[in-house]
Amino acid sequence: MKPTALHPPAHRDIQAALLRIARAIDSETEGLYQRKDAGIADSIPALRAIGFLLLELGFTVAEEAEEDCTEVESAVARAYGLPGHAA
């Protein structure tokens, strides 16, 4: 079965693709921001997890685009004390 696209692929309309990505992130984080702003700290772990996933995905996408992200990725890992990276 051939997949059907509801929208043009990113290489044909990058601005539309970026807007879809931003909207998806906004829809997943808006309620978390509201809870945090209201002083409810239970959203912080979810925000942290989403943030780190976005960083990881961003590095992967950039590397596929032949960008060398090694130094930035290491700096982020050191800044946040992630395992396997000296402070």
Taking only the tens place, the pLDDT of each residue in 9-61 is 888 888 999 999 999 999 999 999 999 999 999 999 999 999 989 998 999 99
Instruction: Give yes or no for residue 68 having a pLDDT over 50.
Output: yes
Confidence category of residue 1, pLDDT binned at 50, 70, 90 = very low
Q: What CA–CA distance (Å, rounded) separates 17 from 32? A: 24
Local confidence band at 78 (pLDDT 50, 70, 90 cut-offs): confident
Assess whether pLDDT exceeds 60 at residue 79: yes
The CA distance from 66 to 31, in Å, is 35
Which two tokens mark 53? 């996933």
Predicted confidence at residue 2, as pLDDT, reads 53
- φ, ψ of residue 32 to 5 degrees: the values are -65, -40
